[in-house]
Structure 1
């Protein structure tokens, strides 16, 4: 899809496979660096497969160079950089070699997008692979060798050449003969040339020497990079005419519009990114059939400049036509159209197309969501019909969970059943049963999406629970009805009306309560993974006014906020720093007048590890928790992956529960530290945490352990 953004250091390579296929096995394989990666983007329409065209030179660049090169200059292609490499027109050969071709696509951004000079049969540069010893054979173990890279090279260029060198990469697989070693050295030329051109060096010279008289043999590669070329003139020509701006997108007319500066180093990555950006902007401004028809890059050796000339075929300016839905079986088509919110008649915008796709995919009802439109552009401006092709996923699922701890709970388990398309319009019914030695609970949740508006859902919840713990005993039935509204991709707002009937016994006595409340909450969630987040934030802010209308009348307000953040300094996520905080307060009533289940507690596996369940804070004469009117908690972790499957997590937790609405300023908190192990499964990590209190009280145990699925927070 041409609307996909250019990610990080990645680059796009494109073209029409129907015009001829590069012999990728012998050409692109020579460019593959160690650890390199490439993003292959294929646009699939009807029965034809083609790449998103951002460079026209995956076809026959060698022939085009000889035909188009002006006198006194060389034509440089931002693309494969194939030179005189073989071009195969037989599509069947492409199919037979597809696996080998794709395996060779491990290219870094600079190599995939290398502005490559077309090599000439009369190229005066010295061949890479001269030698000082003609002995043709070696021993049965192969020819061991070492490599020296010589020349006055800038540090980044030297690092790039070392990165792409297969000589160094293949030292642990020595060639069988000295002649094979020399062939390996000769094969290195293409990789070095592509790397030099990708960095903007066109007036380079390469030479090598193989000294097999030494043991191991010495391979010397000498590089004279010459000057780094800069970007000269940059022109953009649109055909058949300059397109019109639309959808807040201006059409680029110059290098500056593409974040290029004349005089900047003529490196491949920004030039290729500029081509992709032109196509992206056009697809967002009404031109989905736009493509780079020709890209001419001329290397001027006299001025050490690279001049660029792009010809862009815009195609017709179109609008969104009718939407056809295919593949819907159990999900009603009216509901699909409602959540798709199709922009019928509006000027074509690839961003709007992606938004439709994302809205349908977010329903969690489909395994695949594809928006397809005709491969052939309409003959003139007009509406383009689009087909929404769907494949439904199973709508029912069963979930299980379990945890073991040394605290008062000892063990707990969870069983759930969910139907995500109860009446055909994405309605969700979820039933849960939770059990431990302290608490048993049954819950039901019904969610109706698209309630009154597309970003809003109706929620109905009910529960029944029984608990016998050191803090209190209770039996409670509860129900609520409310709405949930999504704001953008990260924000969610909830507003409920709730009622609870309960009988509770604690240190203050036994009471029956009938509570009516209006809980409200705002959540901000940018986590990249719910069970094992490595980046993002999760922040919640809630407030719930309650009125007791039973035997014991009271009014109180509960406010609570929590925040967790995750950050990895490395792209591999081998190390993740995680932190969390919780702050809560209870207003307007004394603790004794508030039901025990509404007070604040701290301690345990989901709170301050190292302390027993709910034990932090005020205690009665028997050492049982009383709960409090405010709570403060913090937690810090460093999650370190020592292998793909194993991780270690040192952590520090702290917190306190107070009798007053405002926490005391003395920071007399309970602290604990510990070490955890993680075993990473496909569904998330299995965690084992062992924590010890740093300032234990007399009633606290010496350590606690916790075993469950998922990170601590």
Structure 2
């Protein structure tokens, strides 16, 4: 047999290399996951166990491809899950992956062995000196005679470390040790604590300030020099500084000192935001048509955190200007004072309004999510071009009022809320009360709730109720102080302000009672900045309480398109009236900016 010469050998090697590269380049056949069956489980359901796995069954909308390495990780996760839940002997006894080569599908069966569950027989704490065992046990999330859960051991350790850190023990160390009796499946859990040194706050250093005066930062701090270090106060102070809106970045840290020293200096690193802005906005809405708004403001006047602004707005139905001033700390106390002056002209379906006046509001935040305010309103109003037959002329209605309100707000974002609750209750006394005379009283209540249903779906609902008490009846209440409904913000199946009482010419006259319930609004993100919404609403405006009946509730159903643009949320809503009356249009279309609530 003749041996290949050098040239032929090279040719053979090149051919083999080319064939192997073609084989490697050939993609593997992909199999979709048809079913995942789990057997042998009694304590946990199939659904609960599947949540620990990445390998999931394909659905009508999404095909899931089977990957063996991912599946192997899932088997390890299943076993790890069982052991974290106290089943220390749990294991995967066997599994089968049956491939359907014709349909390119796989059927998976997993056989688990749960074994007995381990329970805690005793918990012991060692090394504690500053805190009593009773106080430490208040931080425990695991209890004797309960299952041995690794997650609760970790959460208890974190709770204890937080407790010590909030009391100056910054170097505290906590470890846990678990001993299991195999015969009885009972566990003994020991926590070993090394408390270390207790620290106090030394000097407080602030860096990064260019415009803001140091006292503005210091008054927001919840800790002082010489106090025992409380880590929760450091975090709260950082949050309060962020909420002032003056800073782009706030970083509070403890500086290391001499190991023998029991003081820790605090360093606050600040990055200031731009203090002054010029904002110009142009928009369009179904009611106002084209509009423009210009605002000049400073959030940090002369570095004192005081706010000054001047704004002017014009549209086809509104022209106005407003100047405002805010003092976040009134006379050195955490009471906020807002003062504004305004002049405006407004065209409504039933009348035109000219108003000049101002408001003075003093409020204070209580706890983390609530605040109370009291507002004095001073306005000189003139109504003109009154189109309602029985109100062709109305005397000047000069408003002098006091309003007390309470707000509770847990929303994650006030402009584009995905989760949380908002509640506001207020009552306003209108009239020359300093002369012991009251023209009428006006109360309002507003509740909003938001909850994510999925990662891209949000459920929202809102309830609004208002009432006016006037000795002389509706005639004594100026047209501009009454309640109205209908439009882009509430009952979207009705024309603007025409969901309540109308005169003989079909113009809104307003009422003394307002009830609006946005039963649901399902907000669904579809693709990036685009979304859709479905909504249902009921409500009405009433002149007398006796009219508050189910029959008088008007309904509004509809859908809308959302575009979350860089300048704000744009929405287009179609509202459908299922029970049109008195020549009402069965549908309305509204284009506006921002969510309806």
Please say whether Structure 1 and Structure 2 have the same fold, judged by a TM-score greater than 0.5: yes
**Alpha-carbon offset, residue 461 of structure 1:** 0.6
What's 1:232 paired with? 121
2:541 to 626, 639, 656: 656
- Say whether the 8 Å CA contact 1:208–1:219 is kept in structure 2: no
In structure 1, the residue matched to 2:274 is: 394
TM-score of the two chains, using structure 2 as the length reference: 0.81
1:196 is the counterpart of 2:196: no
1:272 is the counterpart of 2:154:
yes
Aligned residue runs from structure 1 range 142-541, under 5 A: 142=28, 152-154=40-42, 156=44, 162-165=50-53, 190-208=76-94, 215=101, 222-238=111-127, 242-244=129-131, 251-252=135-136, 258-292=140-174, 294-375=175-256, 378-379=259-260, 382-397=262-277, 398=279, 400=281, 402-405=283-286, 409-505=288-384, 506=386, 507-509=391-393, 511-533=395-417, 534-541=419-426
Alpha carbon RMSD of aligned pairs, Å? 3.6
Deviations 1:285-344 (A, max 9, x none): 33222222x332234322223332222222212233332211121111012111224333
Equivalent residues of 1:243, 1:251 under 8 A apart: no
**Distance in 2 separating the partners of 1:295 and 1:242:** 17
Deviation at 1:574, TM superposition (A): 1.8
Distance 1:148 1:334, change over 3 A: closer
Contact 1:617 1:628 in 2 (8 A): yes
Partner secondary structure for residue 431 of structure 2? strand
**Given the alignment of the two structures, is residue 543 of structure 1 paired with residue 428 of structure 2, yes or no?**
yes
Q: CA deviation at 1:486?
A: 1.8
Helix, strand or coil at the partner of 1:700 = coil
**Contact in 1 for aligned 2:36/2:56 (Cα 8 Å):** no
Q: Is the 8 A contact 1:519 1:543 kept in 2?
A: yes
CA contact (8 A) 2:483 2:541 kept: no
Aligned with 1:560: secondary structure? strand
Measure the CA separation in 1 of the matches of 2:241 and 2:95: 61
Per-residue deviation, 1:664: 3.0
- Unaligned stretches of 5+ residues in structure 2: 1-22
Q: Are 1:630 and 1:663, in contact at CA under 8 Å, matched by a contact in 2? A: no
Q: Which whole-Å CA distance do the structure 2 matches of 1:666 and 1:602 have between them?
A: 17
Residue 625 to residue 244, structure 1, CA distance change in 2 (3 Å):
same
Residue number in structure 1 paired with 2:576: 692
How far apart, CA to CA, are the structure 2 residues paired with 1:564 and 1:415? 31
For residue 582 of structure 2, give the secondary structure of its aligned residue in structure 1. coil
Contact 2:141 2:155 in 1 (8 A): no
> Which residue in the other structure is 2:5 paired with?
none
Deviation at 1:436, TM superposition (A): 2.7
Shift of 1:346: 2.8
Pick which of 141-150 and 371-380 moved more.
141-150
What is the count of residue pairs matched by the alignment? 554
Instruction: Report what 2:486 is aligned to.
Output: 603
CA distance in 1, matches of 2:273, 2:444: 36
CA distance in 2, matches of 1:165, 1:522: 47
- Alignment equivalent of 2:465, drawn from 579, 582, 604: 582
Aligned 8 A contact 1:649 1:677 in 2: no
User: Displacement of 1:464 after TM fit?
Assistant: 0.8
**Does the 8 Å CA contact 2:405/2:424 hold for their aligned counterparts?**
no
Partner of 1:49: none
1:613-628 → structure 2 map (5 Å cutoff)? 613-628=496-511
Separation in 2 of the partners of 1:414 and 1:521? 28
> Is the CA contact 2:255–2:267 (under 8 Å) kept in the aligned structure 1?
no
Q: How many Å separate the matches in 1 of 2:176 and 2:113? A: 28
Structure-2 residue corresponding to 1:706 = 590
Shift in Å at residue 655 of structure 1?
0.7
Change (3 A) 1:613 1:167: closer
Which blocks of at least 5 consecutive residues in structure 1 are unaligned?
A: 1-136, 176-180
Write the distance in 2 (CA, Å) between the matches of 1:634 and 1:148. 44
